[in-house]
Amino acid sequence: MPDEILVRVCECVKGWEPDVLRYGSTFVRSPSNIRNLRLTCWRLCNTSSHLLLPFVRVELKQASVEHLNTVSQHPTISKGVRAVRVVLDYYDYELANDFALFAEYSAANLGDHADFLECMESEEFEDRVGNNMETIRKTRQLENSCLSFASGAVDDATFAANPSHRNLLQRAHEEYRSRATDQKQVCESGTFVRIVTAAIGRMPRARRLELREHDGYSAPHWKRTTPPCAGDDDYFLCWMIRPMTWDEGRQWALGTPHIDLLGLPGAGHEAGTFLKSLEINITSLPESHDVLTAEETRSLSMSVQQLKNIQIKLRGYRMANLTELGHALDTAELQYLRNYIDAVLNTHSIESLSLDLECFLDEDTGPLTDLGSLMTFRLWGNLEEVSWRSVSLYQKDMERFFQQLRKPLKSLHLCGVHLLGGSWAETLEILRTAPTGYEVTLSGPSGAECEDLSEEETNKIFRSQSGDYWGKSEAEDYITGYSRHNPLKPEENDHSDTSSTQ
């Protein structure tokens, strides 16, 4: 049987998966049936190996970098890799060298985990999680022991009731220090960016780059479906040594890795790689990013000239109980991010644009800056899909954005968009006449007259009353043409307007 037919057979064995370049690697897994198929004979191994790894993730540690380098040099496996995910969580060097500070950090992580388990200890989650009371009890005990040590109120009697707590804390700190040392070697040697960009260049189909925090693969404690037994120290150790996000590092007044991770797209271009898809999902900026130089701007702009899909998600880190949000960005950081987004959007090739810019909003003062200029500085010749979340702009800029489209949008999703000027009533008119398809959603708008609406009025206009996931709100019905009445205008005005045009 020809190899071409065997390849098609192997693809059928693997089954369907979403388009990695468009939708990312979140829902893509290395298929177990392909792993088993490769073990049957050499010929099937050769014809199926390119299906084994649809994406590769790389962390800031030596073993992970070596794994990426090995995969990129494999003659068949490397041909199937379509995305590289760079995990940005890191181990802080100050925590690695300060036992008391590490004890405080461990206590905070254990406390967050205990809060999460207590939230899950409700009737609706009982079948999924089971009885966590023993786990919560031990987690709280270990948290209190770590807090006692961190506060300096510790003596030999503190751990007398639970001597294993001292051993576990020391073991956790040693492991954390070992991981931080390994990370430091990778970052300071300058090999990380060089190896990652070279590896992407060697893999012919790897044209999606993901820069992510909150990567579930780096958190083995989340993979448990049942609570651990009370004596499972490894479970608690995972929480104590959990790597932190950039925003957490700011909250703890700690540093960030001295490595130009946001410069990876530009570095890839310098190595001869043009990306087709880019995802940036971060909570804050590293300390080293203050000003985007002209050379960095040029390199970024050149690297995205073939970019078709871009997702930028800039959101503060939320703790397990979802009540604490990270620090607000200062003026220099806001300007850096604006310039960075402006550079990566500097291409006519974009077909799908997703922006989630919560970091540009402050819960107390509102929007920190106008983002309209980012949407209106160019024509959008190929744009087909748009998703905006927590974007602040003026009505006139939204109107101008739609005027600069050169083809109808297949989908438009607006969530938490804040109007800095104009009115939402007129914005609905703009959206109604905009070149969009049926797939239009509008939820949680703010600014303008929305600030004067009661919660009941807001829900009536901008939430589906059917209770169906696919149901549309009054505003969405008007935008898509299923209703003639603008819900933000008096109904009699709509009748008079209609009669005057007949």
Higher per-residue confidence, 122 vs 252: 252
Asked whether the predicted pLDDT for residue 124 surpasses 80, the reply is no
Secondary structure element (H or E) that encloses residue 5, with its range: helix 3-14
> 353: closest CA among 328, 318, 391, 388?
388
Predicted pLDDT at 232: 73
- Cα–Cα distance, 115 to 119 (Å, whole number): 6
Secondary structure element (H or E) that encloses residue 55, with its range: strand 55-58
Average pLDDT over the chain, rounded to an integer = 79
State the average pLDDT over residues 184-197.
83
223 burial type by CB count under 10 A (0-12 exposed, 13-18 middle, 19+ buried): exposed
The percent of residues in the chain predicted with pLDDT above 90, rounded, is 21
Number of H helices, E strands in the chain: 22, 14
How do strand 361-362 and strand 366-367 relate by DSSP bridges?
A: antiparallel
State the average pLDDT over residues 281-301.
75
Distance, CA of 220 to chain centre: 18
Residue 250: φ, ψ to 5°: -65, -40
Distance, CA of 490 to chain centre: 41
- Which residues touch 340 (CB under 8 Å, ≥6 apart)? 262, 292, 300
- Cα–Cα distance, 435 to 483 (Å, whole number): 17
Predicted pLDDT at 102: 92
State the average pLDDT over residues 471-500.
75
Contact in structure between 271 and 202 (CB atoms under 8 Å): no
Q: How many CA atoms within 13 Å lie on the side-chain side of 238?
A: 13
Predicted pLDDT at 32: 66
Residue 55: φ, ψ to 5°: -150, 160
| Edge-first strand listing for the sheet containing 352-356 | 55-58, 83-87, 208-212, 277-282, 309-314, 352-356, 385-389, 409-415, 436-443
State the average pLDDT over residues 306-322.
68
Asked whether the predicted pLDDT for residue 21 surpasses 80, the reply is no
Predicted pLDDT at 147: 86
Contact in structure between 451 and 419 (CB atoms under 8 Å): no
Beta bridge partners of 388: 355, 414
- Cα–Cα distance, 87 to 390 (Å, whole number): 24
What angle in degrees, to the nearest 10, is found between the helix axes of 133-151 and 99-120?
A: 160
Strand ranges (DSSP E) for 407-482? 409-415, 418-419, 436-443, 446-447
Least confident of 89-103, 237-251, 476-490: 237-251
State the average pLDDT over residues 118-126.
62
Query: DSSP secondary-structure letter at 279?
Result: E
Higher per-residue confidence, 366 vs 416: 416
Asked whether the predicted pLDDT for residue 427 surpasses 90, the reply is yes
Per-position b or e across 195-220, b if 16+ CB within 10 A of its CB: bbbbbbebbebbbbbbbbbbbeebee
Task: Measure Cα distances from 236 to 61, 169, 183, 456 in Å.
Answer: 22, 10, 22, 44
Predicted pLDDT at 371: 85
> 340: closest CA among 376, 383, 304?
304
Predicted pLDDT at 495: 45
- Helix, coil or strand: residue 383: coil
Query: DSSP secondary-structure letter at 327?
Result: P
Give residue-wise pLDDT tens across range 48-72: 666 667 888 899 889 999 999 999 9
- Cα–Cα distance, 426 to 234 (Å, whole number): 58
Listing DSSP states for 217-270 in one string gives GG-GGGG-SSPPPTT-HHHHHHHHT--B-HHHHHHTT----SS-GGGHHHHHHH
Tokens of 322: 């979802």
Asked whether the predicted pLDDT for residue 319 surpasses 60, the reply is no
380, 277, 25, 74 alpha-carbon torsion, rounded to 10°: 160
Predicted pLDDT at 430: 93
Tokens of 17: 């998966």
Q: How many CA atoms within 13 Å lie on the side-chain side of 284?
A: 26
Give Rg (Cα) of the chain: 26
The pTM assigned to this predicted structure is: 0.81
State the average pLDDT over residues 389-417.
92
* Confidence bin at 328 (pLDDT 50/70/90): low
- Cα–Cα distance, 14 to 373 (Å, whole number): 45
State the average pLDDT over residues 136-146.
86
Contact in structure between 245 and 213 (CB atoms under 8 Å): yes
- Cα–Cα distance, 261 to 257 (Å, whole number): 9
* Confidence bin at 173 (pLDDT 50/70/90): very high
Higher per-residue confidence, 493 vs 182: 182
